[in-house]
Chains A and B, each alone.
Chain A
Amino acid sequence: MSTTDTAARDTRGEGTSSRPSGPRSPLRAAVQFAGRHVVVVAAVGSLTYLLLPIAVVILQSFNKPAGRYNTSFNEFTLSNWTNMCAAGGMCDSVVLSLQIAVLATIGATVLGSAIAFALVRHRFRGRSSINMLIFLPMATPEVVMGSSLLTLFVSMQMRLGFWTLLIAHIMFTLSFVVVTVKARLSGLDPNLEEAARDLYANAWSTFWRVTFPLALPGIMAAAMLAFALSFDDFIVSNFNAGNEVNFPMFVWGASRRGVPPQVNVIGTLMFVVALLAVVGGQWAAAQRHRSR
């Protein structure tokens, strides 16, 4: 639907730009032509800038390192992929990142979806100040968030480690879940729920059989976002992990000693898994759309 829409728009755009505007002069036409293409050329440049490091990460994952610091491609090898855990401590850090990300995702998705439902489906006093409280963690620099939480844990004499890490991760992913689920819920037609109630469904079965299934894609998207944010978090984790080391912290520590090439393998794996998830998600959405 959106493709035909944009295609129509594009032809319309072409039509207007080729239309003579004002007195026709070859110079102006040339400038306009160059201008149109300069934008596209600049966009290609921007994309290259965005994608170049990913290409380097993938390439380096197949590189046989020459020494501790590897800045050039030395020799093709698969050994980084086959001996992934040969880099001391790296696989443990990935496991910790996964554990925290799974638990934080569950916690933040449950807490955040509940808030989103309350904000979209209920009217009550204090909604705008609650919206503000939800927005603030996203607008706070991570250093401030991480360091303030550290001062709290220290003043409460809590031992830093797995649990403080988990608490922190649920905290900073929560807002993103609320915003994502809210966006989905406010796009839903309230008439559907009204229809269910007209058909004598009580509040509970309306929720479970109508609202929840409709909100599910938004909740899934929010969960994926929370997982990605948690898995890749360095700054907040660095302040609150104590002696625990998650994957970004491992990379940070390794950057001083010389980064093992296996780090690029994990980087590449993350990229491939995320890409598959996004492409799969779009494909599933397209299938649902077609079957409807």
Chain B
Amino acid sequence: MSLSARRGVTPYLLLLPGLMWLGLFFAVPLVTLVSTSLYDPSGSLREGYRMTWHFATYAEALQAYWPQFRRSFTYAGTATVLALVIGYPLAYTIAFKAGRWKNVLLVLVIAPFFTSFLVRTLAWTTILADDGFVVQTLQAVGLMDPTGRLLATPVAVIAGITYNFLPFTTLPLYASLEKIDHRVIEAAQDLYCSGTQAFRRVTFPLSLPGVVAGTLLTFIPAAGDFINAALLGTPSTYMIGNVIESQFLQVTDYPTASALSVMLMATIVALVVVYVRKAGTEELL
């Protein structure tokens, strides 16, 4: 009897502190974010805000920052597709061809995380600089006109985002490719599938859970990122994250900034729900 009584209380005692932390500092802030977005926009941080249920802030913010909003999702979407295209061969090679080098290659995939996100992103300013070897080479080969540049262009920002979130695409892809039973692929080949056909009709569909997980893990942080756009771009490449950051920390227009933050979150949630549903029912193909 005492054992069953203990069984009843113990899990709640274990859960309570951590869940309270998440409730107080994750869930409650989301509520204050929404309520801040509805404050009277004529208030200020110093004089205080009044709650006026001012929904118009949303329309105004969207109107003012529509380019940055659209850019965020365009850049994040492009980077997600690129990360998939770049990450798939890598994950495939590690899962099927690496042999004893598998662990070494996996460590190399996560190696970028071993050093600082910002320092790595700044390294791209060196790599893509106007007098750097990438630009020089492209110009020498004639793939780029002599006055062309990479830094401070959308190309640099998208390349930076793709780079920063590539491991988040590669690792789930690897995990789902690794799980595939090789006998299934062999069976396809025994049934006269060519290598390409076997890949298209067996291996790739079986890796779809990894594709879905990888694209989500890349797209969500990429849509909110503002580090790449700030370090590798110019104001003309700024994303919604840059606007939220400056509205909160420099302009201190809290209602507008909160409204943008809420809309970013809502858009991501909506896109993710549609994507997951589509991926679930139609197998994405």
Real complex partners, A and B?
yes
A222 interface residue per 8 A CB criterion: no
Q: Considering the chains assembled together, what is the distance between the CA atoms of A155 and B226 in angstroms?
A: 25
Whether A144 and B264, one on each chain, are in contact in the complex, defined by CB atoms closer than 8 angstroms, is: yes
Which of B52-60, B61-69, B114-122 is found at the contact surface with chain A? B114-122
Whether B116 and A51, one on each chain, are in contact in the complex, defined by CB atoms closer than 8 angstroms, is: no
Please report the total number of A residues contacting B with Cβ < 8 Å.
100
Chain A residues numbered 100-137 whose CB sits less than 8 Å from any CB in chain B: 111-112, 114-115, 117-119, 121-122, 124, 130, 133-134, 136-137
Whether B14 and A72, one on each chain, are in contact in the complex, defined by CB atoms closer than 8 angstroms, is: no
A227 interface residue per 8 A CB criterion: no
The SS class assigned to the A binding surface is helix
Which of A81-89, A168-176, A213-221 is found at the contact surface with chain B? A168-176
Whether B189 and A21, one on each chain, are in contact in the complex, defined by CB atoms closer than 8 angstroms, is: yes
Nearest chain A CB to B77 CB, angstrom units: 15
Whether B118 and A111, one on each chain, are in contact in the complex, defined by CB atoms closer than 8 angstroms, is: no
Whether A54 and B111, one on each chain, are in contact in the complex, defined by CB atoms closer than 8 angstroms, is: yes
Per-residue contact bits, chain B 183-198, to A (CB 8 Å; 1 contact, 0 not): 0011001001111100
B179 interface residue per 8 A CB criterion: no
Which residue of B11, B117, B131, B221 contacts A124 across the interface (Cβ within 8 Å)? B11
Q: Considering the chains assembled together, what is the distance between the CA atoms of A171 and B226 in angstroms?
A: 21
B163 interface residue per 8 A CB criterion: yes
B89 interface residue per 8 A CB criterion: yes
Q: Considering the chains assembled together, what is the distance between the CA atoms of A278 and B107 in angstroms?
A: 8
Whether A168 and B25, one on each chain, are in contact in the complex, defined by CB atoms closer than 8 angstroms, is: yes
Chain B residues numbered 184-219 whose CB sits less than 8 Å from any CB in chain A: 185-186, 189, 192-196, 216
A252 interface residue per 8 A CB criterion: yes
Which residue of B19, B99, B109, B122 contacts A50 across the interface (Cβ within 8 Å)? B109
Q: Considering the chains assembled together, what is the distance between the CA atoms of A232 and B11 in angstroms?
A: 32
Closest to A225 in B: B113
Q: Considering the chains assembled together, what is the distance between the CA atoms of A50 and B121 in angstroms?
A: 11
Per-residue contact bits, chain A 51-93, to B (CB 8 Å; 1 contact, 0 not): 1111011001000000000111000000000000000000000
Whether B192 and A21, one on each chain, are in contact in the complex, defined by CB atoms closer than 8 angstroms, is: yes
Contacts of A223 in B (CB 8 A): none
Per-residue contact bits, chain A 150-182, to B (CB 8 Å; 1 contact, 0 not): 111011000000000001101100110010000
Chain B residues numbered 99-142 whose CB sits less than 8 Å from any CB in chain A: 99-100, 102-103, 105, 107-109, 111-127, 129-132
Q: What's the interface size class on B, roughly?
A: 35 or more
A199 interface residue per 8 A CB criterion: no
B283 interface residue per 8 A CB criterion: no
Whether A151 and B92, one on each chain, are in contact in the complex, defined by CB atoms closer than 8 angstroms, is: no
Whether B196 and A53, one on each chain, are in contact in the complex, defined by CB atoms closer than 8 angstroms, is: no
Nearest chain A CB to B30 CB, angstrom units: 5
Nearest chain B CB to A127 CB, angstrom units: 9
Contacts of A234 in B (CB 8 A): 117-118, 227
Contacts of B121 in A (CB 8 A): 53
Contacts of A13 in B (CB 8 A): 96-97, 182
B131, B186, B224, B244 pick with most chain A CB within 10 angstroms: B224
Chain B residues numbered 11-27 whose CB sits less than 8 Å from any CB in chain A: 11-12, 14-15, 17-19, 21-23, 25-27
Whether B261 and A147, one on each chain, are in contact in the complex, defined by CB atoms closer than 8 angstroms, is: yes
B245 interface residue per 8 A CB criterion: yes
Contacts of B102 in A (CB 8 A): 2-3, 6
Per-residue contact bits, chain A 169-199, to B (CB 8 Å; 1 contact, 0 not): 0110011001000000000000000000000
Whether B131 and A71, one on each chain, are in contact in the complex, defined by CB atoms closer than 8 angstroms, is: yes
Which residue of B93, B122, B129, B245 contacts A238 across the interface (Cβ within 8 Å)? B245
Per-residue contact bits, chain A 267-283, to B (CB 8 Å; 1 contact, 0 not): 11011001100110010
Whether A112 and B18, one on each chain, are in contact in the complex, defined by CB atoms closer than 8 angstroms, is: yes
Closest to B129 in A: A71
Whether A115 and B29, one on each chain, are in contact in the complex, defined by CB atoms closer than 8 angstroms, is: no
With A72-B129, A238-B245, A274-B114 as contacts: A40 and B22 at CB distance below 8 Å: no
Per-residue contact bits, chain A 233-264, to B (CB 8 Å; 1 contact, 0 not): 01100110000000110011001000100011
Per-residue contact bits, chain A 198-234, to B (CB 8 Å; 1 contact, 0 not): 0000010000000000000000000000001000101
A46, A51, A54, A270 pick with most chain B CB within 10 angstroms: A46
Whether A267 and B115, one on each chain, are in contact in the complex, defined by CB atoms closer than 8 angstroms, is: yes
Whether B119 and A57, one on each chain, are in contact in the complex, defined by CB atoms closer than 8 angstroms, is: yes
With A167-B25, A251-B116, A259-B122 as contacts: A118 and B93 at CB distance below 8 Å: no
Whether B115 and A174, one on each chain, are in contact in the complex, defined by CB atoms closer than 8 angstroms, is: no
| Chain B residues in the interface with A (C-beta under 8 A) | 3, 6-8, 10-12, 14-15, 17-19, 21-23, 25-30, 32-33, 36, 45, 86-87, 89-90, 92-94, 96-100, 102-103, 105, 107-109, 111-127, 129-132, 163, 166-167, 170, 182, 185-186, 189, 192-196, 216, 220-221, 223-227, 230-231, 241, 244-245, 248-249, 254, 257-258, 261, 264-265, 268, 272
9 A/B residue pairs, CB under 8 Å, sorted by A: A6-B99, A47-B109, A53-B163, A112-B18, A121-B11, A151-B29, A154-B45, A170-B25, A267-B116
Beyond A111-B17, A152-B29, 7 additional pairs, beta carbon < 8 A: A16-B186, A50-B166, A51-B108, A72-B132, A118-B14, A248-B117, A278-B107
A-B complex: 10 closest residue pairs judged by Cβ atoms: A141-B224, A274-B114, A122-B11, A71-B129, A42-B89, A148-B29, A43-B93, A267-B119, A111-B18, A53-B123
